[in-house]
Amino acid sequence: MFLLPSLLLGLALAVVLGGRIGRLRALPVRYGWLVLVSLAAQLVIFSRLGAALDEEARAWLHLATYALLLLFALANVRTRAFLLVFLGLLLNTIAIAVNGGRMPLSPAAARAAGIVAPGGNVSAEADRLWFLGDVFALPRQVPLANTFSAGDLLIGLGAIALVVLVTRPQAAEPPIQLARLARPLRRPRYRRLAAANLVSHLGSWLTLAALVGWMFHETGSTAASAGLLLARLAPPVLGAGLAAFVVDRVPKTRLLVAVEAGRGLSIGMALAGVLLQTPSLVFAAIALAGSLAALSNAAVPALVPAFLPVGELAAANAGIGIAKDAAMALGALGAGIAVEALGPLPALLADVGTFVVATALFATLDDVKGERAQPVLSRRQESGLRYLLRQRPLLVLVGAFATATLATGLVNATLPRLFEGRLGFGPGGYGFALAALAAGLAAGQALVGMTVASPRSERSIGIGLMLMAAFFFLLGLTESQPTALLLLTGIGLVDGTTDTLFETAVQRKADPGRYGAVFGLAATAMTTTMMAAIAAA
């Protein structure tokens, strides 16, 4: 069901990335007739033409059509994108084979898609390896609503990748290469920095997700849980100038150790607030954590160039971003499970352990020699806003992302009500939602980090933002738990991709002497719009 839309999306991406559609004619496809035979056979099997067939014959013929498709994909697997198609077909074939020629259909997915009497090649009674069946659903309110499986999703992604990769200009090295991400890990100090940052963020997300879930469960109020998020976001906006001043004037490794000490204090305040049922202490703890995050988020990327050569900076920054997203996924998931089963205290106690480990790792880093202090407000910094207003491409990028942040803020603030209320996940629903979002973010950043940069790759930001809009729209309509988690993963995937492309576009288009001003103003604009959206929610 995803094949035609996926091909169209792949063509659109190929055009904006500078690919030549004509290269598709030269694609060496082997045994294409197998696809035609398979599709023709399926039309016969599941139409009036096949009415005379008994169930056993129909099942064997259905499996035979998938065997033909598998042979086709395997014969063309040298074109790497066909590997995804092959895996998707393999998963579907396994699900159909173990269920006697029928694809398992989740009753919940059928209801969400508005399917009253399922027919064709699916069956709600087939339950072996049900998770490989049609467990996802497009909402009944959209045209052509239907159910789909993980295999269908892989087939669609493979079709998109096939079109994009085939239409790209020929390069001396593979367009996607995992080794690009792994190179910085050969540096011991970078490994310790990345590990410490991962552990620190893991603890922060344990605490945040646990407290937001606990607050909504205790009060039933979106305003209360949104207020916690506002308390977390406000300090980085108000303290941005202080962060810039401190980070450039003290040894960064010592600063990070001090930040961890402050985080230990915030954990103690949060524990006291929960035990004493005192929301004011919880709000104070979250606000302190937000202030510390502003310092840490400035100090860690400032240390990366001191540990690595220039040629590895892009991969190193992607690695740091992936570590942060992995921490968000694991922390939010752990908090969701803990709050669901035992309440918020186990998550907060686990954060105490992360504070100890992160402090020890940061303390092993040597101070960076030769750091030079910068004036608090130089002439260049004072004119940063004027410079941004004069650079229309940069202004459009910043404005687009600030506007998109309104959407993410509205969704973030309403996730507790959506997941605990309508979708029935329980008090740990917010943690599960953040885990899915973070998994997508990490995957999106990894994809960009492994890909050879294209001079026009930032143009795909527009398509990415429109795709996010479609995912948000579907998330607002869905009544299916697996589909909601899948959509959040998709939102994270696009968000991680566009964030990395945004940073690359700024680095290409801005005066190198204005990077700090542009990134600083962009962060302020996006955090401010996030706060406005959460307040509105």
**CA distance linking residue 397 with residue 395, whole number of Å:** 5
Helix, strand, or coil (residue 305): helix
- Strands 147-148, 136-137: parallel, antiparallel or unpaired by DSSP? antiparallel
Task: State the average pLDDT over residues 387-413.
Answer: 84
The DSSP line for 432-452 is HHHHHHHHHHHHHHHHHHHBP
With beta carbons less than 8 A apart as the criterion, state whether 527 and 237 touch: yes
Confidence at residue 319, expressed as pLDDT on a 0 to 100 scale: 82
Nearest of 312, 445, 175, 417 to residue 304 by alpha carbon = 312
Summarised one tens digit per residue, pLDDT across range 495-529 is 888 887 777 777 677 775 566 566 667 777 787 78
Confidence at residue 173, expressed as pLDDT on a 0 to 100 scale: 57
Model confidence at 81, pLDDT cuts 50, 70, 90, reads confident
Confidence at residue 381, expressed as pLDDT on a 0 to 100 scale: 43
Model confidence at 487, pLDDT cuts 50, 70, 90, reads very high
Summarised one tens digit per residue, pLDDT across range 219-269 is 777 777 778 777 776 766 655 445 545 665 677 788 889 888 888 888 888
> Between residues 217 and 40, which one has the greater pLDDT?
40
Mean pLDDT of the chain: 78
**CA distance linking residue 82 with residue 77, whole number of Å:** 5
Write phi, then psi, for 451 (nearest 5 degrees).
-100, 140
Task: State the average pLDDT over residues 453-473.
Answer: 77
With beta carbons less than 8 A apart as the criterion, state whether 167 and 21 touch: yes
Exposed / middle / buried, residue 439 (Cβ in 10 Å: 0-12, 13-18, 19+): buried
Between the ranges 22-26, 334-338, 482-486, where is the mean pLDDT highest?
Answer: 482-486
pLDDT at residue 459 tops 80? no
Summarised one tens digit per residue, pLDDT across range 260-316 is 888 888 888 888 888 888 888 888 888 888 878 777 776 777 777 777 776 677 677
The DSSP line for 329-345 is HHHHHHHHHHHHHT-SH
> Between residues 434 and 234, which one has the greater pLDDT?
434
Query: What number of other Cβ atoms are within 10 A of residue 294's Cβ?
Result: 24
Both structure tokens of 337: 């499970």
> Between residues 63 and 238, which one has the greater pLDDT?
63
The DSSP line for 123-142 is ETT--TTGGGSB-EE--TTS
Summarised one tens digit per residue, pLDDT across range 187-198 is 888 899 989 988
For the entire predicted model, the pTM comes to 0.72
The DSSP line for 142-186 is STT--EE-HHHHHHHHHHHHHHHHHHSPP-SS-SB-THHHHGGGG
